[in-house]
Amino acid sequence: MIAVELNKENFEYDVNALVRAFYPEESVTVLTPATGADKREQYGKDISIRIEIGEDGAAVTVSGETYTWNFRQEENLAEGLPEGGEWDDFRAEIGERGFKDGFKRFLYGVLSGRTGKRLPWGNLTGIRPTKIAYGMLEQGRSDDYIREYYRRKHLVSPEKIRLSIDIAKRERKLLNRVHYQGGYSLYIGIPFCPATCLYCSFPSFPIAAYRKQVDSYLECLFREMEFVAEQRKDDILDSVYIGGGTPTTLEPEQLDRLLNRLKSLFDFSTVQEFTVEAGRADSINRKKLEVLRRHGVGRISVNPQTMKQETLDLIGRKASVEQVERAYALAREMGFDNINMDLILGLPGETAEDVRHTVDRVVQMGPDSLTVHSLAIKRASKLNRWIQENGVSMLRNTDETMAIAAQGAERLGLVPYYLYRQKNMSGNFENVGYAKEGKFGLYNILIMEEVQTILALGAGSISKKVSYQAAQDGGESILIERCENVKEVAQYIERIEEMIERKRVLFRD
């Protein structure tokens, strides 16, 4: 356990994220002047790091050794850059917004020196690191400018800089066909699964225990769909994503009812992408795939996570490796030509050889897209308890395993098209979506870049209203507002009118 004493508010998130990144095996608590007396007393005797932030700099004390930093040192950040043009903007930004970034670089340097580690994403603590490159490309910045910004301001590795710029360029091209204003996308959540995986923190309820509630859930979902369809009847629907949970835990008849109602309420003539997350191979059969094909679903996921049977058993994935291969082959046989597969790196006990074995088997199958996740340790997941019993050292994600996955994607002819990070990710890496040209997951980009309104229906879903407003500089600013649905199925059914009212309030002009 690491307790950090911090004398100033509004820095605790970044401090916590950086300390966790360097010490993933430890729980981290940051104490500030606003921390309650009981908590300060509880952790006060175990302070590992003390941070004093002043007007002009900061001091960090670790194990009795103190390191100091002065903001005037940031003047050296632009040393060696050309004069004039966009580089003057770079210098101006250092002065305007540089204190917190400078402090994060300083803290990063202290922790890197103490541990001997370098983080691939440097001092970036947000979940969307490619947003920087995307925004700068929108402003007309050069690749050189963006590279220096990532490298000098955020200490990002050359490999991750190249990846960010590559993905941002591809995203901009894909998003050119999206209706930002007057358009929206639709998410429908089916929060049932065959069983809850060890690492999962999504709203997910075992279908065996909730079978009797599924029809009631669908009826409430239909009511929410009816309200949204009426509210957005004059807007353009760009993409539809049915996720979960595992939507294919529904029986074929229930799946058919859902898709019939969906297509009767919404105008699909403008829909560019229709995805259903089939996900678990043990939930897939011919009848369900026939329903999806009949209703025009173009993109599905068949997600193994790993092709090592012992790991599947450990994490609670009931489908065997052979079932995954059979489900994939069946989908191909039935004409699906846009199939995604998800993999997770850093699963308990897995080695680089295990990852190589998984990637080799996936390459043999030949999916159209591959989403490579770095295991994220969620507080609400059963994995947290597993770590307490077995130790975090059993979770190994490295540059080597990330490279094995990236090379596998390249062998499949796939290119990276979206990226995001999560808190407490194994190895401080990222999640990357790879796909063939023409098979990119549009909804995946939209949910990350937050440039279009997404209406999310069902238990545990979160809607985002994206509004464009005139800015003082003559451009546009983006306002993002959210509303959440309750997570519990029973609560969603009982409070469906309240869920609809929340959306009514969110979209009231």
What is the residue type of 488?
E
Q: Taking CA 304 as the corner, what is the angle to CA 397 and CA 406, rounded to the nearest 5 degrees?
A: 45
Residue 205's pLDDT band, with cuts at 50, 70 and 90, is confident
Percent of the chain past pLDDT 70, that is, above it, reads 92
pLDDT of residue 204: 73
Residue 380 clears pLDDT 60, i.e. is over it: no
**pLDDT tens string 10-64:** 899 999 999 988 988 788 899 999 988 888 888 877 789 999 999 999 999 998 9
* Residue 315: predicted pLDDT: 85
Say if residue 95's pLDDT is above 90. no
Question: Alpha-carbon distance 240 to 76, whole Å?
Answer: 49
What is the average per-residue pLDDT within 317-336?
A: 94
Tens digit of each residue's pLDDT (9 = 90 or more) over 41-53? 888 777 899 999 9
Q: Does residue 376 carry a pLDDT above 80?
A: no
- Size of the chain, expressed as the number of residues it contains: 509
Choice among 190-199, 208-217, 263-272, 299-308 with the minimum mean pLDDT: 190-199
Phi, psi of 504 (to 5 degrees): -60, -45
As a whole-number percent, the residues of the chain with pLDDT over 90 amount to 70
Question: Of 85-94, 180-189, 226-235, 444-453, which range is least confident?
Answer: 85-94
Residue 76 has pLDDT above 90, yes or no: no
What pLDDT is recorded for position 473?
Answer: 67
pLDDT at residue 393 above 60?
Answer: no
Burial (Cβ within 10 Å: 0-12, 13-18, ≥19) of residue 41: exposed
Confidence band (pLDDT; 50, 70, 90) for 115? very high
For residue 399, pLDDT beyond 70: yes
Give the C-alpha separation, 41 to 55, whole Å.
28
Tell me which of 269-273, 367-371, 421-425, 456-460 is least confident. Answer: 421-425
Q: What average pLDDT does the segment 351-373 reach?
A: 96
Res. 390 pLDDT band, cuts 50 70 90: low
State pLDDT tens for residues 121-143.
999 988 889 999 999 999 999 99
| Lowest-confidence region among 41-50, 149-158, 339-348, 498-507 | 41-50
404 to 113, 129, 162, 356, 377: CA distances (angstroms): 28, 22, 18, 6, 22
- Please name the CATH architecture into which domain 177-464 falls: Alpha-Beta Barrel (3.20)
pTM value is 0.90
Flag the least confident range among 100-109, 178-187, 374-383. 374-383
pLDDT at position 26, please?
A: 81
- Nearest to residue 204, comparing CAs of 185, 226, 219, 189? 189
* HEC sequence for 459-475: CCCEEEEEEEEECCCCC
pLDDT (average), residues 248-257: 97
pLDDT the model gives residue 477: 83
| Secondary structure E strands in 181-247 | 183-190, 192-193, 205-206, 236-244
Domain boundaries, the chain: 177-464
More confident site: 475 or 366: 366
Please indicate whether residue 476 or residue 442 has the higher confidence score (pLDDT): 442
Whether pLDDT at 85 is above 60:
yes
For residue 96, the model assigns a pLDDT of 57
Q: DSSP class of residue 181?
A: S
Q: Model confidence over 2-11: pLDDT tens digits?
A: 999 999 988 9
Could you report the per-residue pLDDT of 461-486, keeping only the tens digit for each?
Answer: 999 999 988 776 666 788 999 999 99
Mean per-residue pLDDT of the chain: 90
pLDDT over 70 at 453, yes or no: yes
